[in-house]
Structure 1
């Protein structure tokens, strides 16, 4: 979400699983832009092939843009007068010389302090300074993809208070000048992370278990028994929102509850995005926006024939 009026979605072409799958290079990825201008509301799109499993992100600096990064290291920027592919991330890590592809797939993109940050396995963290200009953060000891290191998610209160987590209890903190590994009290698989407006960090682990804390003080506030872990954690209106393909939840006063939303919003569960005082929910069956006061259903899968 760029603003309440400018939203972006990524759609991926699927195929009938009962038939042989076509080559990935022939499948289409579509980036859709929704522009809610009262004078000229509408949709726009960009179609590409050879772009696999793209993640969506937002850069606010040096200018506001949607930035998508694919599993195979393609980068596409759209907004503020620009639209097009940037230099691929493949070809080497600036500090270590290791190919980005050898350090794992892109796990998450987050806007922190106006900049777009990237996390991937192998303990890789990147910061986009401008178009095609990425700064790769080191020294974070590289972890082989066969080891239990992160990262699956990244978030921060500012560029001098960033957390990254993944692997089996692999949590790191960046104070603006150096990264330091945190003594985390569990070896559970860590899947997602969110920095709350209450000053705490929330980490979602396997089965929906949730940890709360900061730096070296952590505790379990919910022991999960879910089939799927949370995919996204974001802060909106004084509580933490969590989502997976199975539903939407909130955490307030250390209590995890099913979100108080209508069935038409709940069916949109999957991904979450916040910005401009609003919350966007989007998944396989549609999208809905909470504008700060009420919910609006934006996309209904029953209309997508």
Structure 2
């Protein structure tokens, strides 16, 4: 299968870097965050913010040779990538830094900055950027939830949270929504909350294991993944364990695409078929990809450190790969 990014662009943009995050802006535009590959003995002597970071925009409708561009960023700590879709001034990608100010750099499709700050000095600690109903949300530990309502303006969505000192037992790592008045956030140890448009309310959850993802699915259910790769499903507030995983890591991402729940971790890609987790197979062969993923506008993209593939519901396509 031919790779979409040609050799010249791969050598200039991806060679020597590994992909750590992906976000789909629409079916024509995909954003990656990549960091320089550094040997462990050298990386151990650096702060995470000293590792060179690139934000890369891939245009899926452009021909090879004119479909990829990037920016170099400095001082980014444990970055994650997301998108903004409400036109202020226009849709773009964005990458965040897990630092004291919550640095945000908008980029791509003619956008390059300016640098934004989620909440200076407050350690918003973005663990995920999620675009819900057009607006971008940042979630972090100690039940941190912020919403971007215009350029450089983020507001904290906190009504309903108790005024207690945050700990690692408190969320959040992920957020999802059916609507602005039906939103869920999870993280910490069994820390699950619901937002009704006015305030947050804690939901009883049958386990205190570490939680990783929440998905408001097209079948009307809410799916939560947690420690060991386990899965729970709920319609509102009654939770049922549907899979008891044996993994040593969390799922990185879980999303609803083409009437299925898809899950990706650092070493596997799986679908939930209603009874069990199954490998992703296309034309009788397992799809050789894992890592992080995102989907929007009919396009699913999965990215491992060195490869990226897309799926439009019918065909898998190699987007990025070494030459």
What TM-score comes out, normalization by structure 1 length?
0.89
Instruction: Please identify, of 2-11 and 201-210, the stretch whose mean Cα deviation from structure 2 is larger.
Output: 2-11
**Pairing 1:141-180 to 2, within 5 Å after superposition:** 141-142=162-163, 144-180=165-201
Distance 1:78 1:263, change over 3 A: farther
CA distance in 2, matches of 1:143, 1:181: 14
User: 1:95 maps to what in 2?
Assistant: none
1:38: Cα distance to partner?
Answer: 4.0
Q: Does 1:32 align with 2:33?
A: no
1:80-118 Cα shifts (integer Å, max 9, x gaps): 5421133223425xxxxxx1x1x5x21111111111111
User: 1:244 maps to what in 2?
Assistant: 265
Instruction: Please identify, of 121-130 and 38-47, the stretch whose mean Cα deviation from structure 2 is larger.
Output: 38-47
Distance 1:16 1:67, change over 3 A: same
CA distance in 2, matches of 1:269, 1:142: 39
User: 1:57 maps to what in 2?
Assistant: 82
1:240-295 Cα shifts (integer Å, max 9, x gaps): 00000110010122422222258998443111100111100012131000023200
Q: Does 1:206 align with 2:206?
A: no
Instruction: Please identify, of 62-71 and 82-91, the stretch whose mean Cα deviation from structure 2 is larger.
Output: 82-91
Distance 1:15 1:81, change over 3 A: closer
CA distance in 2, matches of 1:223, 1:234: 19
User: 2:14 maps to what in 1?
Assistant: none
1:1-42 Cα shifts (integer Å, max 9, x gaps): 112221110001232113453454543110011113447842
Q: 1:9 aligns with which of 32, 35, 38?
A: 32
1:159: Cα distance to partner?
Answer: 1.3
1:79: Cα distance to partner?
Answer: 4.0
What TM-score comes out, normalization by structure 2 length?
0.84
The answer to which structure, 1 or 2, has the higher relative contact order (CA under 8 A, 6+ apart) is: 2
Aligned length: 293
- Is the 1:29–1:52 Cα contact (8 Å) retained in structure 2? no
1:181: Cα distance to partner?
Answer: 0.6
For the residue of structure 2 that corresponds to 1:149, the secondary structure is coil
Distance 1:265 1:143, change over 3 A: farther
For the residue of structure 1 that corresponds to 2:228, the secondary structure is helix
1:186-231 Cα shifts (integer Å, max 9, x gaps): 1111111111100111100100110000321110000111122211
RMSD: 2.1
Q: Does 1:269 align with 2:286?
A: no
